Amino acid sequence: MPKKRFIGGIAWVVAMLAGCGAATASPATRAPLPSEPTMINYVDPSVVHGLTIRTLSTGERGGRRMHASYPAVAGAPRLTDRLRDTVEDELHRFTWRKTPGDTAVAPEFNVDWLLAAASEEVLGVRLRVGRSMDAGWRESRTTLWYDRTDRRVLDSAGLIRDDAAMTTLVRLVGQEMTRRGTPVRLGSLRLDPLRLDPAMFDSLVFNPRGDLVVEFDDGQVGSRATGRVAVAVPSAVSEPLLSPTGLRARRAVVSSARPSGTSEQDMLDASTDKPPARSSRAGEVDCARARCVALTYDDGPGPGTGRLLDVLGRYGARATFFPLGSGASARPDLLRRMRDEGHLVANHTWSHRDLTMLTTLMVTSQLDRAQHAIAQAIGQAPTLMRPPYGGLDGRVADVAGGLGMSVVRWNVNADDREDPAPRAIAERVVARTGPGSIVLMHDVHDATVDAAPEILRRLTEAGYTFVTVPELYGRRAMRPGWIYDSGAAATSPERLSASYPGAMSP
């Protein structure tokens, strides 16, 4: 988890090994040790040179909502390929699974990621795959490791020395589950914990003091409602079981643990109030007289975002960017460039979940985590948010309003998610745009970036001026919690909640 971002970043569990409770920080690690040993610190992705984010799928197709991203690291193409293949396999299984005929909500698929370790010797990427179909939300976890010494990609089992060591690890974990009475399931079968399947051990990570943490998927151990379950095996017991790559991974985590006292200061920095985000060029255009249009870009930053900023700069155009919090934490340099070049940076949640399917607490976490990440990157607090998939009800609008954000949707959709033809994207945008339009596009797609020059050229020739969303409203300040679909349309949260009976209740 990037330091300075704390809300929702630590995973809690219900199972741990005996004797692994709170401990005093050792002189070797000088790290503040959590009382729960299966808590994991994650690496700030912005410190990893050459890291970009790839988005495999985003949007809604066939009544299913899908978003999947993973990191690509320069110099580690085998890791990038393996991550892509893993995400593609999960997406394929979700896409081809039959949808229940009586489902009342759209099935959803979501993949996000965190760095479990990063050093000159090793990289660890933890994928969290979430899906809902007919039995509520379920998550699985897979951690892949890249050994930079011999340029190999390994499953988590590769952290363990050999089959005999894996057998010992399985026995240790099974003994603890037996002691706690924790049930174990493989599909519909209930198993003796001492007969755990090693294939379940596909997410092995380390806590800051070097204990080996074994994570399980939802429903593998305990009920689905339990969520993430993990067991921490003390370093003194687990270290002899580790392979050379495992030892490198453990060393990377322990050596990068925060020095004592740093986390408190980080929390203070993260909670410091920031001024409201505002374009540095706001006020240059009077949209009551000019033909204004607001170009907006979701889901980034992507590999082509820098190139898009170049194009916008050549035309003197400003846009509103709605990055994900996970992307903001990985590429704060691009967000700062957006700010410096007169664009506006807004909030698109942390990981692109359908907010209408989340509890109020989870909605708040999705927005607040992204808010912290963006504010730390640009030194300003976003005042706008856009719900993923446009999914909105009165409750979500109420949470956004409570966090000081207006809700922005759109009235022009570029339909650029699946279209590989830049010219077709440009044709749709130009044909659908009118004065006061809010145009939805995605800077994670190369075709959208390629379409930008023609969109800007043709709309400029038609007399349009490109401004950020708040400028469409001139002196009419946008109100927190209100919903804005175009320069001419705004909906109060009270009116929205009337369309969703009971939506404003917790």
Beta strands, E only, 36-169:
51-61, 64-73, 108-118, 122-132, 137-147, 152-154
Find out whether 279 and 319 touch, Cβ atoms under 8 Å: no
Q: How far is the C-alpha of 72 from the C-alpha of 443, rounded, in Å? A: 17
d(CA 396, CA 361): 11
Under DSSP, the state recorded for 60 is: E
CA 130 to chain CA mean position, Å? 12
* Residue of 202, 218, 298, 398 marked catalytic: 298
Q: Exposed, middle or buried, 163 (CB in 10 Å: 0-12/13-18/19+)? A: exposed
Spatial neighbors of 232 by CB under 8 A, at least 6 apart, are 16, 17, 20, 37, 38, 207, 211, 212, 213, 214
Q: Distance (Å, rounded) from C-alpha 473 to C-alpha 476?
A: 5
Active site residue 150: no
- Annotated catalytic residue 445: no
Bridge partners of 433?
A: none
Terminal Cα distance for the chain, rounded: 28
d(CA 130, CA 67): 10
Residue 207: count other Cβ atoms within 10 Å of its Cβ: 25
Nearest Cα neighbor of 184 from 192, 140, 320 is 192
Residue of 67, 343, 352, 442 marked catalytic: 442
Residues involved in catalysis: 298, 442
